[in-house]
Structure 1
Amino acid sequence: MHGLSLFPLVALLLGAAAALPAEDDLAAKSHRAKELMASGRYADAVPVYRELVKAVPNNPGLLANLGMALHLSGQDRDAVAPLEAALRLDPQSLPAALFLGASNLRLGRAAAAVAPLQKVVRLQPENAQARSLLAEALVSLERYTAAEPHLRRLAESAPTNPAAWFNLGKAYEELASRTFADLLQHDPESPYALALAADARRGRGQRSAAFRLYRQAIERGPSLRGLHAAVAGIYRAAGHADWAAVEEEKERRLPAPDCAREALACVFAAGKYRGVLTTAGASTDPARVYWRVRAYNELAAQSLGRLAALPPSVHSHEWAAEIARNERRYAEAAEEWRRALALAPGDPRLMTELAVTLRMNQDLAGAQAVLQDLLRAYPDAPQANYLMGDVLLAQDHAEQAIPYLEKALRGAPGQLQAEAALGRAYALAGRSAEALAHLERALPADEDGSLRLQLARAYQAAGQADKAQAALADYEAFRKAAAAESESTEAAITPPDGVVR
């Protein structure tokens, strides 16, 4: 999320400062400081306000103005103390509360930013800047339920702002994901969990896995609507229109929901998705959780649909890029990231996403070029350093990859992907003893057994034959289990019951 600029508020908030004693020198300094602030020369205003604060101690207006000047000139660490002092002297000081929240947020102290920003929003409900910053703080704390009403109000009050709809849609997606994760943890074999898991697999293009999960959901919940229709969709995509017709007929035969007993299904069918959330509440009943997830997904789709209806923007291209990447259309995704960057040149997050997408598309040279530009501007960025090391490693340049991967782990210790890549790089560079610790730490991220095999080889090269043998046995067991799971997951798409191929 990106908070709105506070610059337009400066002149208004400066006018709220406490009055000074009528001394010519102080009045002149106060006038000079206001002129500097109004002209955007915030750093030049700081020493003037320091002199005024020294001359007139415990003046909450001057302390707030000093904090504002410090924040707006990028000196957030120094801004916090005068802003906190201003609030102690005048708890109702909205400028102090607003800029204290903004400074804490910029310093990465989201938890400390929430209370002062909540105060501003409570006293000034129409203050979009404060509400945007509060929503940003809550999202960074992963408090999506608390952030949602603020994001929704921002979108409704600025319906042509693409960022507002994008942020709201992403919050709904996160709420759906987390609610679904809770259902999987508490009741993974319920028809509701299986149906949602099938929806997720189908959305990622994994039709065989989705088919298997839909079949299991139908066995456990034969009256759950929409499952036969989903299976019919898979059949049609696979070229079996006759099989699809059978499933569509089964869907038609299901009775309409009894709204006295299935209120959530009826509210959902009426398109009242916020009503679903209100009715379902925080219940852990699988059926209620199921409808909450579906409601969040529909609200996300509505929000992102509003985004799509607006003129092209950074956010609309980002959304399109994420969809294409999730569907493994990497070339299209990369083009969307480039379009976003054309509207926001040099944005490090967008550059990182472009590099990731190019890497996924095996365009190693393209990814390397983007990362070189990114690292020139942000040489210590942990993710960019990891990605550069990974790209070099994929081109068999292990020695060149090592410094980038080492820097990535210094900047963000514990990254399992970086640990794995550095372990591989050391091993390929003939530094097996150094590789061992990194490969061992990275094992929880081993998805295909390759890390286990690399670890066995590193043990062997380091002269630890017993550990090499144990690691190799672990690799074989892992590979067999993964193969069995894959075979089960990717079961063939079979015809409906009673239909012969």
Structure 2
Amino acid sequence: MRNRFSLPLLLLLATPLFGFGQQEQNATLESLLATAQQAQAGSDYKAAADAYKQAVKIRPDVPEMWANLGLMEHETADYTGAIETFQRAYKLKPSLYVPNLFLGIDLTHAGKAKEAIPYLLTAEKINNTDSQPHLALGRAYFSLQEYSLAAHEFANVTHLDPKQSTAWFSLGIAYLDQVEADARIMSEKDQDSPYAKALFAESLANQSRYLEAVDLYKNVIASNSQPPCMHTQLGLVYAKQHDDVDAAKEFEAEDQKAFPCALAASGKPAESPEAEYTSARSKSCGNQSASNFKTKDETKLQLLAACSFLAGNYELSSRAASTLPQSAEALYWSIQANENLAFQALEHYEELEPNSERSHLLLGDIYIQRERYDDAQAEYQKAIDLSPNDPGAVLGLGSAYFRNGNVSKTVETAQLALNQLPDDPEINLLMGEALMARHDFTNAEPFLKKALQAKPQMLPHVHALLGRAYAAEGRVPQAIDELRLGLASDEDGSVHYQLARLYRQTGDAKDAAAAMDQMKAIQQKRRENAVIAFKDSHPSTLDDEP
């Protein structure tokens, strides 16, 4: 990215400087510029910077020369020096492209994204056909947690340069972070709304917690205001439980509704009459969109967000949702649309980086966090195909199998990883969890004991599992000790519940009652925060991109 700007500028500078000042200074300046060009051509940016530092002493009034010095300092990672140098160039000529662009880039790198944005906006105006200002501006907005603005800029990059994989990756991550931000707002302000409950029900279904999902979907359907296609979603949960009778009833109930829900049922447009109706509805939405955005008619924007999403036009749905005043309904469609846009962007990224093991591992991790376990399995398998002996890829695949409810494949995959790293705490933990799921408590114990060497933040979960194993074997005092150590891992109240039962067995009614109270408090807190089913699934910054 950096080199593409410097060489053309150097060629520009070689000629205009003859005839200025004394002949001796001109000769020296010419020699310094030639030295800088030669050093740059050989990627010796420090030598080039040294030559430019001498050159600007002779001609401090030439902004292009300061810009070239800034580029060389940028290339040597002297960002503080580069910022000062580009500022000198900017003061001499504010309309110069390179100082605006690289001031924005380097200020963002220095943690001053807010200061960077005006320079990057100017760079965009100067050269709107170059993807670099859009990419840099997207990163600046991202660092300020302005995810919607960041996504807009990254999308601009993909339009200008569709083969730039970094932009697709960054776009996907920006959409995911917008999803998290929206979910957080919904959990704080609208956790009791049918829209929040619908999101949580979907998350429960993805986790194979079907009974809870059924109850919550029924609760949503009974409410006065609800998202469309809830009968379809409930029908799908019944179908996953092989309850074809109740599934058919829900699908039939959906047929009486105004919205076509073929897309909601399949995740992609279907080849069916419903799909044709969906397509027609999408065209209708498209025809209305311009006037709706101008008039900001809430009813029409709500319809636009919904029918665009159901037609698979996630960009239009997202735009409509962001235009609406903040509400549970607007957040619902923003979350749904932006999550789908994120996965579309990440799929483009994968197409451009098909043979990168690291990319497949990263995507696998993202899909696991988003509860798309089949997709995660596919990504980890691709990583294994590229590097069969990578225990990280094997562990990821095993984790995806486990979360997807395939215990047999989990055990099989974990054993492959253990063959390479028999003492690895995380692999032993996975094997222990899988055996616990089989109720094979005795064989799970040695793996869980090895897992006690895991990272400190994982230890409460390990202790809780050991406590459950000991409880199943009737080793009550040991079970109580381990469960106490595992209380910090209790996200759903189950550890406190089991501890309460063990306290009762020992006649400790007081501690049993306290544990039950804690269980109820955790469950209430869980219901309040349930909508945030979207966890952080990306590197800490976009600098960690593949």
- TM-score computed with the length of structure 1 as normaliser: 0.67
Q: In the alignment, residue 518 of structure 2 is paired with which amino acid? A: F
Partner of 2:335: 293
Partner of 1:322: 366
Q: Which residues of 2 match residues 340-355 of structure 1 at below 5 A?
A: none
How far residue 233 of structure 1 moved from its aligned partner, in angstroms, is 0.8
Question: Does the CA-based 8 Å contact 2:121-2:137 persist in structure 1?
Answer: yes
| SS at 1:284 equivalent | coil
How far residue 327 of structure 1 moved from its aligned partner, in angstroms, is 5.0
Q: Looking at both structures, which has the greater relative contact order when contacts are Cα pairs under 8 Å and sequence separation is at least 6?
A: 2
Q: Which residue among 79, 85, 88 is the counterpart of 2:88?
A: 85
Q: Within 2, Cα distance between the matches of 1:28 and 1:478? A: 78
How far residue 338 of structure 1 moved from its aligned partner, in angstroms, is 5.8
Distance 1:443 1:77, change over 3 A: farther
Q: Which residue among 460, 466, 478 is the counterpart of 2:518?
A: 478
How far residue 158 of structure 1 moved from its aligned partner, in angstroms, is 2.5
Q: Which residues of 2 match residues 10-89 of structure 1 at below 5 A?
A: 10-17=6-13, 19-20=16-17, 21=20, 23-89=26-92
1:3-47 Cα offsets, whole Å, 9 max, x none, are xx2222221233455943361111111121122123311011122
Q: In the alignment, residue 241 of structure 2 is paired with which amino acid? A: A
What is the percent sequence identity of the aligned residues? 24
Distance 1:41 1:339, change over 3 A: farther
How far residue 119 of structure 1 moved from its aligned partner, in angstroms, is 1.8
- Segment drifting more, 185-194 vs 229-238: 185-194
Confirm whether residue 8 of structure 1 aligns to residue 1 of structure 2.
no
Q: Which residue among 160, 163, 179 is the counterpart of 1:160?
A: 163
Confirm whether residue 276 of structure 1 aligns to residue 320 of structure 2.
no
| SS at 2:222 equivalent | helix
Partner of 1:426: none
1:439-465 Cα offsets, whole Å, 9 max, x none, are xxx99887489999xxxxxxxxxxxxx
Question: Does the CA-based 8 Å contact 2:63-2:92 persist in structure 1?
Answer: yes
Partner of 2:264: none
Distance 1:102 1:331, change over 3 A: same
Partner of 2:142: 139
- Segment drifting more, 253-262 vs 210-219: 253-262
Q: Within 2, Cα distance between the matches of 1:266 and 1:449? A: 39
- Segment drifting more, 254-263 vs 296-305: 254-263
Structure 2 unaligned spans of 5+: 261-280, 286-298, 400-409, 427-446, 462-485, 497-509, 531-546
Q: Within 2, Cα distance between the matches of 1:309 and 1:67? A: 36
Q: In the alignment, residue 220 of structure 2 is paired with which amino acid? A: A
Q: Which residue among 307, 313, 316 is the counterpart of 1:266?
A: 307
Q: Which residues of 2 match residues 455-470 of structure 1 at below 5 A?
A: none
Distance 1:88 1:210, change over 3 A: farther
| SS at 1:220 equivalent | coil
How far residue 419 of structure 1 moved from its aligned partner, in angstroms, is 12
Q: Which residue among 175, 178, 181 is the counterpart of 1:178?
A: 181
Partner of 2:278: none
- Segment drifting more, 252-261 vs 220-229: 252-261
1:264-298 Cα offsets, whole Å, 9 max, x none, are 33343444433334434141233233233332233
Question: Does the CA-based 8 Å contact 1:43-1:69 persist in structure 2?
Answer: yes
Question: Does the CA-based 8 Å contact 2:67-2:86 persist in structure 1?
Answer: yes
- Segment drifting more, 15-24 vs 116-125: 15-24
Structure 1 unaligned spans of 5+: 343-350, 372-390, 406-416, 422-441, 453-469, 491-501
Distance 1:50 1:196, change over 3 A: same
How far residue 99 of structure 1 moved from its aligned partner, in angstroms, is 2.3
1:67-100 Cα offsets, whole Å, 9 max, x none, are 1111112222322211222212221222222222
Distance 1:243 1:359, change over 3 A: closer
Distance 1:256 1:43, change over 3 A: closer
Q: In the alignment, residue 116 of structure 1 is paired with which amino acid? A: Y
Partner of 2:102: 99
Q: Within 2, Cα distance between the matches of 1:217 and 1:117? A: 46
Q: Within 1, Cα distance between the matches of 2:132 and 2:229? A: 42
Q: Within 2, Cα distance between the matches of 1:102 and 1:172? A: 22
Q: Within 1, Cα distance between the matches of 2:425 and 2:100? A: 40
- Segment drifting more, 470-479 vs 170-179: 470-479
Q: Which residues of 2 match residues 47-446 of structure 1 at below 5 A?
A: 47-221=50-224, 224-256=227-259, 263-264=303-304, 265-280=306-321, 281-307=323-349, 312-314=354-356, 315=359, 318-324=362-368, 326=371, 334-336=380-382, 357=396, 366=421, 395-396=451-452, 417=457
How far residue 175 of structure 1 moved from its aligned partner, in angstroms, is 1.9
1:403-450 Cα offsets, whole Å, 9 max, x none, are xx8xxxxxxxxxxx49999xxxxxxxxxxxxxxxxxxxx998874899
1:345-378 Cα offsets, whole Å, 9 max, x none, are xxxxxx998699499687687598899xxxxxxx
Q: Within 1, Cα distance between the matches of 2:6 and 2:324? A: 42
Q: In the alignment, residue 151 of structure 1 is paired with which amino acid? A: F
Q: In the alignment, residue 237 of structure 2 is paired with which amino acid? A: I
Q: Within 1, Cα distance between the matches of 2:391 and 2:98? A: 36
How far residue 476 of structure 1 moved from its aligned partner, in angstroms, is 6.9
- TM-score computed with the length of structure 2 as normaliser: 0.62
Question: Does the CA-based 8 Å contact 1:37-1:45 persist in structure 2?
Answer: yes
Question: Does the CA-based 8 Å contact 2:124-2:134 persist in structure 1?
Answer: yes
Q: Within 1, Cα distance between the matches of 2:216 and 2:206? A: 13
Q: In the alignment, residue 157 of structure 2 is paired with which amino acid? A: L
Q: Within 2, Cα distance between the matches of 1:108 and 1:155? A: 25
Q: Within 2, Cα distance between the matches of 1:367 and 1:118? A: 54
- Segment drifting more, 299-308 vs 48-57: 299-308
Calculate the aligned-residue CA RMSD, in Å.
4.5
Partner of 1:466: none
Question: Does the CA-based 8 Å contact 1:359-1:367 persist in structure 2?
Answer: no
Q: Within 2, Cα distance between the matches of 1:370 and 1:8? A: 47
Q: In the alignment, residue 300 of structure 1 is paired with which amino acid? A: A
Q: Within 1, Cα distance between the matches of 2:198 and 2:493? A: 30
Q: Within 1, Cα distance between the matches of 2:144 and 2:54? A: 38
Question: Does the CA-based 8 Å contact 2:493-2:520 persist in structure 1?
Answer: no
Q: In the alignment, residue 158 of structure 2 is paired with which amino acid? A: A
Distance 1:148 1:31, change over 3 A: same
Partner of 1:428: none
